[in-house]
Amino acid sequence: MLSVALLSLAGLVAAQNTGDPIVYDTQHNVTSLYGTWATGSGGVQTGSGFANPSEMTFTYPKTTGWSVSFSSDYYFEWAQYTFVSNGSDPSCITGYVFWTHGQFTENENGSLTMSPFGDGYQQVQDACGAESNVLENTNQSIYVPWWNIAQDTTDGYLLKLQKYDQTYYPPFKQISTTPNMLPTRQLREVTLGSDVTVAQSKRDLVEEETLEKRNAAPAGAAPAVVGGLAYAGAAAVAALGMLTI
């Protein structure tokens, strides 16, 4: 079984209440945190267009990125579609598709903790892995040590989120002041730790379905579950460089 931890998403929650209490100021109140935010071109967004938890499937966006939504009653949703290249072997590209939702807390030290309902899931496709394509349940908290909101003259409001290792996600642009989210409750029964291996052979990565075939599918076609993820990753890495989770 391929075991993958999205460490840049899941910090050590035990550290969330360390440090002195923070006074929330204009860095956090330029505009409300509530709404939907997305990196880059906004191709990845939370809501029904990305994940279908009841079927445990994804609809792959045309571009990579992250998206997060926050509601005024302290619910969140997170979507991620990224690729990471291997510095020692550029052909070994790993693709990650990740979705989760739950409740979030604004901690006294200025951090955010997003605690999932437990029905999140992720797909990991490793071109050089023993099991090349795995779909698995995940129940990882997302810890953001620090965050702020700034206003850009071109892009408008930008949300900056720090990762557990003190690096940063790309800036999140405000897509909507209304959160675009699936229902804020557990959406499927889950046995945590159970995995579904959806493709075993490396040959399947390039032969099952290419990105061009997916883009040419008729409107209303069912979302692809597996095909083309690594092929899309090669194009994405070539165009955008190495992406971190």
CB atoms within 10 A of CB 237: 21
Choose among 163, 162, 159, 160: nearest CA to 174: 159
Q: What is the mean pLDDT of residues 46-71?
A: 96
Q: What pLDDT score does 87 carry?
A: 76
Q: What pLDDT score does 223 carry?
A: 41
Confidence of residue 85 (pLDDT cuts 50, 70, 90): confident
Are residues 100 and 35 in contact, defined by beta-carbon separation less than 8 angstroms? no
Nearest-angstrom CA–CA distance, 97 and 81: 5
Q: What pLDDT score does 26 carry?
A: 60
Lowest mean pLDDT among 31-35, 143-147, 186-190, 211-215: 211-215
Three-state SS for 14? helix
Three-state SS for 215? helix
Q: According to DSSP H, which parts of the chain are helical? A: 26-29, 204-207, 211-215, 229-240
Token pair 């939504």: residue: 69
Question: What is the tens place of the pLDDT at every residue in 86-132?
Answer: 778 888 889 999 999 999 999 989 899 999 999 999 999 988 876 67
In the chain, the amino acid numbered 115 is S
Average pLDDT, the chain: 76
